[in-house]
Chains A and B, each alone.
Chain A
């Protein structure tokens, strides 16, 4: 893996917004074909980190390299799926048209449908399983379908890195599982590299290779087994936390204020 160049390399990244320090000394690498989960609670700095990776915000110190260059130079290499997806129900735009705007939305002049655009749009629609609603108004689709439409919009330019902001936040269990399957498939079939933010890591455990655990702007990074450890996370949170594992699920909980009691409980359970 180390002989391949990192598709995304973040080193000692610090970002301030409005005079407030949002991210401090965040470092991690992401290699082709990996899925990385960016885990943290609301306000931990997940969205700020993503926007910095996309080149929409500038950092105070540190570097972000996408395939060896600054993010702004590599727009076509990165696909992005924002968290809030809302389309007006009356919008005269079919799913197909939205996907197509991913290909040439920045171009001037009227759009021309040719065989190449058709093929690219059809391939993106098929990759996310959106053929059934390709010709419906995008504003009339369900939340999960709109999300697939936006993923296809991001995929149509064949990016090497796909970034999704809280894609599981508003999905029911069934749709969330289907989306995780889809991400796994994109990685396997298209050698895609994926970065996903979430406040709960559990749905992503089956597919994720790397983890960036953000607490209050600072990060612990590595493999799940390395990061999700009481010692690592306690240091990150600044107070003692426990990690409970059960049936392949992980729960991170702060220790009770009298942590002696919890320690006692653990000891009792151990005996």
Chain B
């Protein structure tokens, strides 16, 4: 499980989980889950195009996730962000299908791009992933406070001179970077789970901003480690386990939260 070709996967997975939790924490607060779902799929045709042209898929991913991010922002400015996001998602999937129809090496490549591949991390891939994760972590810690205020109550942030438009651009850029680095490992569909599952669970459990962020990181790390280990033993795709663990965590945390709310409600009635 810790042989040399698995080591890359462990390192990449750990780094990805860290930044996915950081960025996902704000995805959940800003209610941008739909954008976080659409962006990875927007990146997918990029990898397909790179495959077609014979260049590094990572370059294609970055270019397409960048285009996707800018289009998403433009559509959001025109109003009805939800509808725009949905249309963009299908448009990108369509473009991806077109590119794939032009190449002949078809099934396994696509499958790993969509659902992830545990052994998909080569030494050459590892460094860009780690570089991006380092940049995202530093940026995230730097803008933590303004982004938290802007995500919680944009009007109050504007009064402190925090520009909502600039925050949105920064946040979407970080989301795009995380997406591009996580996609080759966990796949386009499952980047989303890693982004929102652990932070949503953490926020249901802790009302403390920094503590819930730390908890989100712990949940994300445990999810990806468990998924890698289970995938290694069972030979089932890693994406299946990421999806299961993410949904399971979320369900458990939400159930606990509504249970504790009911308890508190009952206590309030009992002791007026």
Contacts and interface: CB of A to CB of B under 8 A. Distances in A.
Contacts of A87: 152-153
A137 interface: yes
B247 interface: no
Interface stretch (B49-57, B117-125, B137-145, B171-179): B137-145
Contact of A105 (B28, B142, B149): B149
Contacts of A137: 207
Interface stretch (B108-116, B186-194, B208-216, B224-232): B208-216
A137 B260 CA distance: 14
Of listed B141, B148, B202, B204, residue having the most chain A CB within 10 A: B148
Contacts of B213: 92
B149 A92 contact: no
Contact of B145 (A90, A109, A150): A109
A94 B149 contact: no
A165 B31 CA distance: 26
Q: Which of A75, A80, A87, A92 has its CB near the most chain B CB atoms (within 10 A)?
A: A92
Nearest to A137: B207
A136 interface: yes
Interface string A71-103: 000010010101011011011111001100110
A92 B161 contact: no
Interface in A10-62: 54, 56
B9 interface: no
A94 B208 contact: yes
Given A92-B207, A94-B208, A106 B153 contact: no
Contacts of A54: 159
Contacts of B202: 92
A265 interface: no
A213 B207 CA distance: 43
Nearest to B199: A92
Contacts, number: 88
Contacts of B152: 87-88, 91, 93, 98, 101
A93 B160 CA distance: 18
Q: Is the interface of A mostly helix, strand, loop or mixed?
A: loop
B90 interface: no
B41 to A, nearest CB: 26
Nearest to B211: A92
Contacts of B148: 93, 101, 105
A110 B214 CA distance: 13
A110 B210 contact: yes
B206 interface: yes
Contacts of A90: 28, 200, 203-204
Contacts of A56: 158-159
B146 interface: yes
Contacts of A82: 155-156
Given A87-B153, A105-B146, A106-B145, A136 B159 contact: no
Interface in A103-121: 104-111
Interface of B: 28-29, 31, 141-146, 148-149, 152-153, 155-162, 200, 202-204, 206-210, 212-213
Interface of A: 54, 56, 75, 78, 80, 82, 84-85, 87-88, 90-94, 97-98, 101-102, 104-111, 136-137, 150, 153
Given A108-B146, A110-B141, 13 more contacts: A82-B155, A84-B155, A87-B153, A88-B31, A88-B152, A90-B203, A91-B203, A92-B29, A93-B148, A102-B156, A104-B145, A110-B144, A153-B156
